[in-house]
């Protein structure tokens, strides 16, 4: 049923109402309403997809600021990246997201003793996992090659699925087991070229996969506030070594260093973090997992076409196998409908 208000439209010419139009209710219901709804949904979808794609594109170019700091120790880069990121996150949360921060602490206080213990243990653990992940990735990009760092994030989602099965008892489909097996073959091929490079890739991938597992357990807490707390844990671990990080390099930490670190912390850490968290409000984690591959693909393109890295034939086959495993892992099969016998 239509009300009189919903059927009457005003035709405005030169800013004044000239006449009323009573559209056909069938035309309005069947065409105009779905069209308007479709446009709104597309706009909404594009907004969240844009945020997710933007985050992973930015992270894809992270080798650029890291390579700009190649002459500086990886530990010094790590220390100031974490310190600057924490300060930015604390400022943003306290100024613009105070309600979300208070809601998280209210949620924590209302929880049972076991939940509180789990929260504290996993927050500390995730902070330390980020510390390991960032340090090894910085070292690999600056002192080994970009390919090794990129490879780690190609195998990371599949490794996360395997750890989810082992630690959280999450179910895996047959095609996902096949993808895991192909990934294993790919790792073996990389290992034949350089076992050390493979171990670095696995360390980066495993530390980040375990970090993602902790986030699944803490999924009911505000993600950006959690990131602030986790990086605060990392910072508290590093701050006692402040003098060491400043004294390790003959230049100490000059204005050039602080300039690049500021860009790395804001443009390549905090901004993509906010974009990815915003995208997760509407997009499924599976969709985010697929879009995540934008990051290592851009890394590989930079490695070969910008940094002029070379690859062996065994590595090329290994990378191809990883891409194949990603496709197989994300295949979706429709369940066959059971045909009920006629009565």
Banded model confidence at residue 61, pLDDT cuts 50, 70, 90: very high
Residue 40, C-beta contacts closer than 8 angstroms, at least 6 positions apart: none
DSSP for 225-237 reads HHHHHHHHHHHHH
Confidence (pTM): 0.79
Among 48, 89, 78, 53, residue whose Cα is nearest residue 226: 89
Residue 42, C-beta contacts closer than 8 angstroms, at least 6 positions apart: none
- Report which DSSP code applies to 32: I
Banded model confidence at residue 286, pLDDT cuts 50, 70, 90: low
Strand partners, 12: 17
Task: Say if residue 290's pLDDT is above 80.
Answer: no
Region of poorest pLDDT, from 6-15, 82-91, 166-175, 213-222: 6-15
| Spans of all domains in the chain | 55-329
Say how far apart CA 277 and CA 55 lie, in whole Å.
9
Terminal-to-terminal C-alpha distance of the chain: 38
Task: Say if residue 139's pLDDT is above 90.
Answer: yes
Task: Say if residue 176's pLDDT is above 90.
Answer: no
Say how far apart CA 137 and CA 116 lie, in whole Å.
31
Q: How many CB atoms lie within 10 A of CB 252?
A: 12
DSSP H helical ranges for the chain: 4-7, 25-27, 33-60, 63-67, 74-96, 98-110, 113-143, 146-168, 174-193, 195-217, 223-238, 242-247, 255-265, 271-279, 285-291, 294-305, 313-329
Banded model confidence at residue 122, pLDDT cuts 50, 70, 90: very high
């Amino acid at each position: 049923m239509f009300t009189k208000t919903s059927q009457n439209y005003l035709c405005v010419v030169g800013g004044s109402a000239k006449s009323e139009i009573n559209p056909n209710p069938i035309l309005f219901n069947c065409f105009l309403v779905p069209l308007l709804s479709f446009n709104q949904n597309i706009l909404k979808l594009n907004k969240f997809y844009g945020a997710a794609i933007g985050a992973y594109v930015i992270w894809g170019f992270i080798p650029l600021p890291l390579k700009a700091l190649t002459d500086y120790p990886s530990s010094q880069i790590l220390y100031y990246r974490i310190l600057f990121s924490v300060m930015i996150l604390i400022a943003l949360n306290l100024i613009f997201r105070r309600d979300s921060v208070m809601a998280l602490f209210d949620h924590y206080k209302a929880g049972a003793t076991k939940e509180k213990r789990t929260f504290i243990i996993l927050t500390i653990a995730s902070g330390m996992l980020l510390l390991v992940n960032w340090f090894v990735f910085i070292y690999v990009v600056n002192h080994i090659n970009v390919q090794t760092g990129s490879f780690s994030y190609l195998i990371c989602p599949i490794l996360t699925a395997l750890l989810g099965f082992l630690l959280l008892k999450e179910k895996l489909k047959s095609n996902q087991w096949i993808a895991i097996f192909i990934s294993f073959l790919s790792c073996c091929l990389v290992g034949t070229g350089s076992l050390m490079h493979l171990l670095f890739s696995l360390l980066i991938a495993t530390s980040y996969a375990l970090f993602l597992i902790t986030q699944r357990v803490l999924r009911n807490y505000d993600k950006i506030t959690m990131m602030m707390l986790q990086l605060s844990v990392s910072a508290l671990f590093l701050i006692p070594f402040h003098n060491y990080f400043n004294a390790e390099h003959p230049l100490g930490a000059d204005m050039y260093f602080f300039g690049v670190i500021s860009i790395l912390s804001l443009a390549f850490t905090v901004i993509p973090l906010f974009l990815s968290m915003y995208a997760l409000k509407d997009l499924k984690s599976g969709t985010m997992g697929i879009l995540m591959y934008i990051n290592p693909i851009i890394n590989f393109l930079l490695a070969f076409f910008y940094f002029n890295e070379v690859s062996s034939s065994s590595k090329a086959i290994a990378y191809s196998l990883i891409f194949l495993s990603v496709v197989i892992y994300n295949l979706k099969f429709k369940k066959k409908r059971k045909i009920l016998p006629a009565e």
